[in-house]
Every structure is written in structure tokens, then in C-alpha cells.
Amino acid sequence: MISTADVIGLVYYEARLLDEHRFDEWLALFAPDGRYWMPLEHGQTDRRLTASLMDEDLFLLRLRVERLKGNRTYSQKPKSRCHHVLQQPRVDIFDPDTDRYATWTAMHYLETRLDQQDLYAAWATHELAVIDGSLRIRMKRVDLVNCDAAFGSIQLFI
């Protein structure tokens, strides 16, 4: 039986996996049809008809992880590091009857490499489902507060 503590715990666990570069374990949190979406516009409702900063299915997420782990990824020598600071996730949907769970989390995200350090403020929405007895991410949406700004290269995952 899934509890609200399980739902909140998954969000914290996901952030820890990313901070510790445990990308294969992070990928395992996604459902087979899982997506990672970062809208380009504030309040964007459609990821297909409007450009996005990121809109990746599990295949593309795996490619990105393989690139991050690769020895020939010169843009990652030395490797980028990150740190997530999360407010407690708010459970917006908790409906075991329809297998729908969703959270909303305000966060700050820091990414650093060499002398460069970038700070992003964001809201993350996780849409979750139970698959084979475990919570999995169906959609992770990251809305950057300044989504319409010019960005350098975000190397890791917010």
C-alpha cells in the first residue's frame, strides 16, 4: 500500500540520486513511458506544439546518461556536480483507485564545473504511478522561474 510519505520520499530520493551521480538508479525510477519535460515558456501547457528546453523520453534520457558517463565526453572533464535544495514536496494528487499520484516541489538547483557555478530556481511536478509494486515517474516537469532567459548549457538534470 502506497502512502503519502512514499510519494514524498520518492522525490527526495530522486534528488539524492542525481546529486550523487547515480544516474542508472535514477533512470530506473522512470516508468517505461516516462518523460522529462522542461518547458520554454511560463505556464506552457503543450509540449508538442511549443518548443521546450528539454522534452525527453526514456530513450533520450538513457542517451544523455551514457554521454555523461562516457570517457570521451570532453565537456565533462572534470565532471559537473550538482546540488538540489528542495522544499518539502506537496502531494497534489493521491488517488490509489486510479493509480494517480502527483507532487509539486519548489527548489533551488546548483550546477558547478571548474570555476563556473549556475543557480536555478524551479518548480518540479512529478506525475507518478505504481508499476510492478513500486512508484515510478511517468512525467517529471521542471518549470524554471526564469524559463524565458538565455541559458548556457545545463549539463545534468534539474
Q: What is the pLDDT, as a whole number, of residue 115? A: 86
Residue 56 DSSP symbol: E
pTM given for the model: 0.92
Rounded to whole angstroms, the Cα distance separating 52 from 71 reads 29
Rounded to whole angstroms, the Cα distance separating 112 from 118 reads 6
Q: What is the pLDDT, as a whole number, of residue 74? A: 66
Q: How many Cα neighbours within 13 Å face the side chain of 57?
A: 4
In the predicted model, residues of the chain with pLDDT beneath 50 are: none
Report the 10 Å Cβ neighbour count for 58.
Answer: 16
